Structure 1
Amino acid sequence: MLLAIDLLEIESKSLSQHISGISTITFYKGDIHLAAKSLKERFSLLLEANPWIAGKLVKTKQSKNLQLLYSNTPSTNIQVELLFKVNPPDVKIHSDMPYSQLGKACSSLIVQRPTRIINKEEYITKLTLVEDTKDPQNKFSLIFSLSHSVGDGHTYYSLLNMLSKDAKIEALTVQRKEEIYAKAIKTLGKKEFAYLTSFSHVFNVFRGMICGKKAKVYAFYLDENKISELKAKKKEEQAYISTNDILTSSFSTFTGARLCAMAINFRNKIKGLDNKDAGNYEGAILYDKRHYKSPSSIRHSLINPSSYQGLSKPLPKTFEGMFCKMGLITNWASFAKDLNLQDAKEELHLPLTNTAGRMPYEMCVVFRAKEGKTGLIYFTQRFKKVDFNPQSLPIGKLISNKIFT
């Protein structure tokens, strides 16, 4: 039986239609064929519990919002064959490939932006295993991609985590909660939320994507010692700051942004939303220089969960908003868990995007790079590798000198 689920209004907005799927690549040591056999079984169980991940995006005259169309009684074996691929012939990658080349090589494995798949025979999910061209007998990669129209980082990792051989598989709630989400976005401020979909901000985004420089990408391990030192200092002052406070403040200060947006997950912060809710239940708190100047000021902005306060001056007027410096930081690290495959050892996990295009503005993603290691990946138009240094940012060594040249 086919079901059509209305997506959230924000998931159906025009700006959301130009974002490619959330994607990551995980490098392993092991036998790809043994891993593929067990992963196929896990993916089949995941599909049985969450048949909507084999859905398609549709737009009809009967609904004002975008819809997710899927069968609640699918033939799981057929769906697995459609969504799960092993060694597609047109994809040649290896674990030392420069990031820009890696993104291009994997472009066919990334779910395209909604404008290209709405009302098409394209699925919202892709799962792929690819052998390492330099060592096909002993190395391979797992690439997982999910349309951003149906899920945020939390939804993405809730699904990806369940592919681990020792994880519990659960059904996520796909039915959207529009009224609860409407309450959630009020905590961001009516003017602040409206600004993100305003003409000036949308113009700024597309100006960067069309006219901006091609993004350079650098990824570093988090300097845990520096984080501990900063936290200890605040503790002595009878104050608390989180790792994310430190990362948001340092990134925003580094970019010198007029406004910096910090992504926030509303689950378990708003009554009625919990970890089993699939969808884009996230928002962005806007900060200006006065409020992002220190980790303590970030922490202070979060004191009142009914009304986050990140601005000390009015939002940019139209012309300034069209051209001002912007930044965005999002933290996936707390969502991710170990992704254990049969007879394989995880070596490195990275966000994956095709950087052949241009980025809207300066961006930072905090992520789990490997067991016990947090990574920070920076997408930049303005900065060179030499500009990223431990004096300005809480970063350690480059994750890979070969991938991030």
Structure 2
Amino acid sequence: MQSNSETIIPLLDEESSMFIKGENGITTITFYKGDKGKATDTIRARLKEIVKVNPWLAGRLIKNKKHKNVQLAYPSGTLSDEHIHQILHPHPATIKIGSEMGYEELFKQAKSAIIEKGGQLINKPGVISRLTIVPDIHTENGFALIFSISHMVSDGYTYYRIFNQLFTSEPVEQLEVKRKQDAANKVTDVVGQKSFKFFHSAPFVMNMIKGALFGKKTKCYGFYVEPDRITSAKNQVNGHSGVEYISTNDIISSSFAKVTDSRICIMAVNLRSWVKDISRNDAGNYAGGLLFDNDTSHNPVGIRKAFQAGLPVPAASRPLPKFGEALRCKVSLISSWSDFQESHDLEGCEQVLHLPLYDAKQAFPLDSAVVFRAKPDKLAVMYFAKTVEREDLLSTCEVGETLSEKTFM
């Protein structure tokens, strides 16, 4: 649909949900050492190329009577420089951040670089993406690149398909922004109808609300993954226990489920890997959540066997909690971004650290973890912990060195 030089498309049902509306934009911050001026010129020029091919990045969110869902309205035809400039932070000099700040302070100081919660964007003039480049106040010749896209239009996969393109001179790839609701509905083919209903059930939602309102304060920890501990865990399987191998993600997810003593550990999965009607070029929130119970998730072999068993993935080996247990049982969430990431190197610059940027105080009603590449050759995990301490994570999980002693004290 088009209206007055704008193309308007309805978002997915899930993208219009209260859960997604309440999320800040998906955001990362990457610290570099090098020539900020030259890097800024390079990144801005590349951004212009990307947005001209993907004009929805300069779009806005609207809600009216023409569709039950929130809609994305973006420029049609040739984009002007003004459309590009709307994505760039209007007042970067107001942002004072440094690589030695604590994580919560880092989020606080970077707040204006982070796309607002989806519900705050609806029927407002603000666009759905933002790019900011600012000096690192703690490092000479250091700077930070912050990139943010509204979670209402992007999952982690979509985010990195755009973000990765900032760092290459290859032809820009166009993502298909028109949504495929019928294909998105096939999430139940992957996660199972019972799991899908449980995830959207009243007692589960109440459990999350209880965790947000009355749970302990979230503590943020960031560690590099220890390759030797991963290798040791893989060698223990060595073709036995009914599986040929276990993946690094199986191991990290299992240790996280164990350390949090989760009755249910939710693992975010990219539906593009499972639903043939959703392609690698489809932009949007095409993700699902596998609900692994403790019988399955507390051993990486159990997770691997579930993945090998076909669809829907039998993540739970016994019935999901009934109403009373669902209200109070321990639930955790783990998501991996590492497979989506490509090089974030800038010519003439040293990449110091790449981090997801979350509002730890508000965004996590449950123990959560994100797996990602903090440096080009280093896998890392950030834990947003409500029920476990730093020592528990170090003793149980396959992690070691802290990402930054200053940021994660």
Deviates more, 1:264-273 or 1:157-166: 264-273
The CA distance in 1 between the partners of 2:239 and 2:360, in whole Å, is 43
How many angstroms does 1:87 deviate by?
6.3
The CA distance in 1 between the partners of 2:210 and 2:156, in whole Å, is 25
Secondary structure at the counterpart of residue 101 of structure 1:
helix
The answer to whether 1:220 aligns with 2:230 is no
The CA distance in 2 between the partners of 1:118 and 1:36, in whole Å, is 30
How many angstroms does 1:204 deviate by?
1.8
How many angstroms does 1:236 deviate by?
4.5
1:42 matched to which residue of 2?
A: 46
Deviates more, 1:303-312 or 1:391-400: 303-312
How many angstroms does 1:74 deviate by?
4.8
What do the CA deviations read for 1:62-112 (whole angstroms, capped 9, x no partner)?
A: 101111111122534112211113762321111111111001111111111
The CA distance in 1 between the partners of 2:396 and 2:15, in whole Å, is 35
The CA distance in 2 between the partners of 1:212 and 1:400, in whole Å, is 26
Where does structure 2 lack aligned partners over 5 or more consecutive residues? none
2:366 matched to which residue of 1?
A: 361
Amino acid at match of 2:193: K
Q: Identify the match of residue 165 of structure 1 among 164, 168, 183.
A: 168
Kindly indicate whether the alpha-carbon contact (under 8 Å) linking 1:365 and 1:376 is maintained by their aligned counterparts in 2. yes
Q: Identify the match of residue 403 of structure 1 among 365, 382, 407.
A: 407
2:74 matched to which residue of 1?
A: 70
The CA distance in 2 between the partners of 1:317 and 1:83, in whole Å, is 46
The CA distance in 2 between the partners of 1:203 and 1:356, in whole Å, is 18
The answer to whether 1:386 aligns with 2:391 is yes
Q: Identify the match of residue 37 of structure 2 among 29, 33, 36.
A: 33
What do the CA deviations read for 1:42-71 (whole angstroms, capped 9, x no partner)?
A: 000000110001111111111011111111
2:324 matched to which residue of 1?
A: 319
Q: Identify the match of residue 180 of structure 2 among 163, 177, 182.
A: 177
Kindly indicate whether the alpha-carbon contact (under 8 Å) linking 2:132 and 2:146 is maintained by their aligned counterparts in 1. yes
Q: What aligned pairs does 1:193-208 form with structure 2 within 5 A after superposition?
A: 193-208=196-211
The CA distance in 2 between the partners of 1:171 and 1:226, in whole Å, is 40
Deviates more, 1:143-152 or 1:161-170: 161-170
Amino acid at match of 2:377: G
The CA distance in 1 between the partners of 2:272 and 2:234, in whole Å, is 26
The CA distance in 1 between the partners of 2:21 and 2:245, in whole Å, is 39
What do the CA deviations read for 1:313-361 (whole angstroms, capped 9, x no partner)?
A: 2222223222221100000001011112243221110010123436210
Q: TM-score, normalised by structure 1?
A: 0.96
Deviates more, 1:221-230 or 1:22-31: 221-230
Instruction: Tell me the matched-pair count.
Output: 403
Deviates more, 1:317-326 or 1:212-221: 317-326
The answer to whether 1:300 aligns with 2:305 is yes
Q: Identify the match of residue 3 of structure 1 among 7, 10, 17.
A: 7
Kindly indicate whether the alpha-carbon contact (under 8 Å) linking 1:210 and 1:358 is maintained by their aligned counterparts in 2. no
The CA distance in 1 between the partners of 2:398 and 2:91, in whole Å, is 38
Distance change (3 Å), C-alpha of 1:374 and 1:86: farther
Kindly indicate whether the alpha-carbon contact (under 8 Å) linking 2:190 and 2:274 is maintained by their aligned counterparts in 1. no
Q: Identify the match of residue 94 of structure 1 among 74, 98, 105.
A: 98
The CA distance in 1 between the partners of 2:209 and 2:171, in whole Å, is 41
The answer to whether 1:245 aligns with 2:287 is no
What do the CA deviations read for 1:153-193 (whole angstroms, capped 9, x no partner)?
A: 10000000000033441100111111112123322111211
Kindly indicate whether the alpha-carbon contact (under 8 Å) linking 1:267 and 1:275 is maintained by their aligned counterparts in 2. yes
Secondary structure at the counterpart of residue 37 of structure 2:
helix
What do the CA deviations read for 1:223-244 (whole angstroms, capped 9, x no partner)?
A: 1111122223322426211111
Amino acid at match of 2:60: K
1:284 matched to which residue of 2?
A: 289
2:108 matched to which residue of 1?
A: 104
Q: Identify the match of residue 382 of structure 2 among 372, 377, 382.
A: 377
The CA distance in 1 between the partners of 2:59 and 2:356, in whole Å, is 23
Secondary structure at the counterpart of residue 350 of structure 1:
strand
2:151 matched to which residue of 1?
A: 148
1:83 matched to which residue of 2?
A: 87
Secondary structure at the counterpart of residue 388 of structure 1:
helix
Kindly indicate whether the alpha-carbon contact (under 8 Å) linking 2:100 and 2:138 is maintained by their aligned counterparts in 1. no
Kindly indicate whether the alpha-carbon contact (under 8 Å) linking 1:213 and 1:358 is maintained by their aligned counterparts in 2. no
Kindly indicate whether the alpha-carbon contact (under 8 Å) linking 2:239 and 2:245 is maintained by their aligned counterparts in 1. no
2:236 matched to which residue of 1?
A: 233
Amino acid at match of 1:315: L
Where does structure 1 lack aligned partners over 5 or more consecutive residues? none
The answer to whether 1:120 aligns with 2:124 is yes
Secondary structure at the counterpart of residue 162 of structure 1:
helix
Amino acid at match of 2:225: L
Secondary structure at the counterpart of residue 400 of structure 1:
coil
Kindly indicate whether the alpha-carbon contact (under 8 Å) linking 2:259 and 2:388 is maintained by their aligned counterparts in 1. no
Amino acid at match of 1:273: I
The CA distance in 1 between the partners of 2:321 and 2:101, in whole Å, is 41
